[in-house]
Amino acid sequence: MNEKPLVSVVIPCYGQARFLPHAIESVLSQSYAPIEIVVVDDGSPDDTSEVAARYSRVRVIRTTNQGLSAARNNGLAASSGPLLVFLDADDRLRPDAIERGVACLERNPDSGIVYGDHVRFYSDGTPADTQPLEPLTGDVFETLLRKDVIGCVDAVLWRRDTLEKVGGFAVELRASEDYDIYMRIAQHFPIAQHDAVVADVLLHGNSMHGDFARQLKGAVSALRRQRPAAVSTPAYKRAYRDGLTNVRLTYGPRLARRVAQQLRDPQGRSKALRDLIVLVRFYPGAPWHAARRAPAMLTNRAQSDRSAAPDRW
C-alpha cells in the first residue's frame, strides 16, 4: 500500500500571536497524517515565536520582517512535504480539511493545486456574509483573469513542484499575492475544485479584509502582472479587461466612501491623502465619486465596523 504523502502546513505570522494557538491546534486536530507544521515568525513585534514554541510538533523559523509573500516562500524553503497548505495565523482549518484536499488531488492527479470552500466570521463570533463557491469551468486562466474564484488561500492544497515551477509568491505584492499565483499556475497546470468547507476565516480590526486601498492596489497589480499572457488571445484580452473592471468596482467605491469619511475627520486626513493617491492611480474618477457620496456616508455605518468588536475567536 502506498504511503500517504507528507503535508507541510506553513503558518506565517506577524502580530497575530493571540490567534496563533487556534491556527496551530486546528492543524494538530486534522484527521489526516502525516503532517509537519512550520510557523514563520516574520519579524513579529509580539511573542509569536514563544507561542509557537509551546507546541512540540511545531518548527519555528524566525526572520526579519519581509512581508507575507516572503514569509510563505521562507516556509516553503524550510518545509519538506511534497504537498503544502498555507494557513493564515488568524484562521483555522476544519478537521477534515487536509484529508479532503488530498482526496481531491488523488482524483485529479494532473492538477497543480486543488481547493475547497471557506466561511467567514467576525471577531465576536457571528458569521459574515460568505459568497458560495463558484463552479470552476472552462479555461481556468480565462476564468481567473475575469474574477478570483478561488479566493481563500487557507482552502488550497498545493504541490511543491507547482510552486517551484512558477517561482513561488511574488514578494513585490503586498496584497492579492495569492490571486497572482493562482493565475500564474493556471497558465501551466490544471486546477481542481471540491465543494467541502475546509477553512474558517476571521475578520477583525487588524485583518487585511477592511483595507480597501491595499486590496484595490494589490488586485489591480496582480492582474497587470498577467498582461503579457493576457494579450495572447482575444478571449484572454477581454477577460483581462473585465477583471480590471471587476476589481475596481469591487474595492474602488468602498475605498472612495472610506476616503470621504476620513476627510471629515481631522485625525484621519493623513490616511485619507494616502488612500486618495491609491484611488487616483488605480480607480480613475474616484475623488469625484468620494465627494459625491460623502453626505450619504455620514449617516451610514459601514458593515466592516463590526470587526472592531472584542475578540472572542
pLDDT at 139: 96
- Could you tell me if 218 and 202 lie in one domain? no
Check whether residue 192 and residue 281 sit in a common domain: no
Judged against a pLDDT cut of 80, whether residue 309 lies above it is answered with no
Residue 304 has pLDDT above 70, yes or no: no
Q: 116-160 pLDDT, tens per residue?
A: 999 998 877 788 877 788 888 899 999 999 999 998 999 999 999
Least confident of 116-125, 205-214, 273-282, 300-309: 300-309
* pLDDT score of 43: 95
Q: Between β-strands 83-86 and 7-13, what pairing exists: parallel, antiparallel or unpaired?
A: parallel
Local confidence band at 206 (pLDDT 50, 70, 90 cut-offs): low
pLDDT value of position 310: 36
Q: How far apart are CA 163 and CA 185, in angstroms?
A: 8
Instruction: Tell whether 62 and 199 lie within a shared domain.
Output: yes
How far is Cα 134 from Cα 238, in angstroms, rounded to an integer?
20
Q: Answer yes or no: is 78 within a domain.
A: yes
Average the pLDDT over 234-248 and give the result.
95
Where does the pLDDT of residue 234 fall: very low under 50, low under 70, confident under 90, or very high at 90 and above?
Answer: very high
> Are 232 and 192 part of one and the same domain?
no
| Percent of the chain's residues with pLDDT above 70 | 88
Indicate the pLDDT class of residue 208, thresholds 50, 70 and 90.
low
Identify the domain containing residue 140 by its residue range. 7-207
Query: Domain total for the chain?
Result: 2
Q: Assess contact for 189 and 112: CB atoms under 8 A.
A: yes
From residue 74, alpha-carbon distances to 189, 239, 256, 296 in Å are 23, 33, 36, 45
The fraction of the chain above a pLDDT of 90, given in percent, is 66
Out of 159, 178, 207, pick the residue that ends a domain.
207
* Confidence at residue 273, expressed as pLDDT on a 0 to 100 scale: 84
Q: Write a three-state SS string for the chain.
A: CCCCCCEEEEEEECCCCCCHHHHHHHHHCCCCCCEEEEEEEECCCCCHHHHHHCCCCEEEEEECCCCHHHHHHHHHHHCCCCEEEECCCCCEECCCHHHHHHHHHHHCCCCCEEEEEEEEEECCCCECCCCCCCCCCCCHHHHHHHCCCCCCHHHEEEEHHHHHHHCCCCCCCCCCHHHHHHHHHHCCCCEEEEEEEEEEEEECCCCHHHCHHHHHHHHHHHHHCCHHHHCCCHHHHHHHHHHHHHHHHHHHHHHHHHHHHHHCCHHHHHHHHHHHHHHHHHCCCHHHHHHHHHHHHHCCCCHHHHHHCCCCC
27 and 151 share one domain: yes
> What's the confidence (pLDDT) of residue 305?
40
Task: Show which of 207, 226, 255 is a domain's final residue.
Answer: 207
Q: Within this chain, do residues 175 and 163 fall inside the same structural domain, yes or no?
A: yes
Domain boundary among 207, 237, 256: 207
The C-alpha cell that represents 172 in the structure block? 513585490
Q: How much is the pLDDT for 205?
A: 62
State pLDDT tens for residues 63-88: 999 999 999 999 999 999 999 999 99
Q: Is 201 left (phi over 0), alpha (psi -120 to 50) or beta?
A: beta
Residue 265, in any domain of the structure: yes
- Is residue 308 in a domain? no
Distance CA 268, CA 256 (A): 14
Give the confidence band of 307 by pLDDT, cuts at 50, 70, 90. Answer: very low
C-alpha cell at 273: 491623502
Using the predicted structure, report yes or no on whether residue 219 has a pLDDT greater than 60: yes
- Tell me, what's the pLDDT at 174? 87
CA–CA gap between residue 204 and residue 208 (Å, rounded):
9
Residue 312: inside a domain: no
* Confidence band of 286 (pLDDT split at 50, 70, 90): low
248 and 114 belong to one structural domain: no
Tell me: the pLDDT tens digits for 253-285?
Answer: 888 888 888 888 877 777 888 888 888 888 875
Say whether both 60 and 200 belong to one domain. Answer: yes
215 and 173 housed in the same domain: no
Asked, for residue 1, whether it belongs to a domain, the answer is no
Task: Assess if residue 311 is contained within a domain.
Answer: no
Average of per-residue pLDDT across 106-115: 97
**pTM metric for this prediction:** 0.87
Q: Span 232-249, mean pLDDT?
A: 94
- Give domain status of residue 23, yes or no: yes
- pLDDT the model gives residue 262: 83
pLDDT at site 298 = 37
Query: In terms of domains, do 92 and 66 share one?
Result: yes
Cα dist from 12 to 111, 141, 232, whole Å: 25, 27, 35
CATH of the domain at 55: 3.90.550.10
Shared domain for 155 and 256, answered yes or no, is no
In a domain, 279, yes or no: yes
11 shares its domain with 103: yes
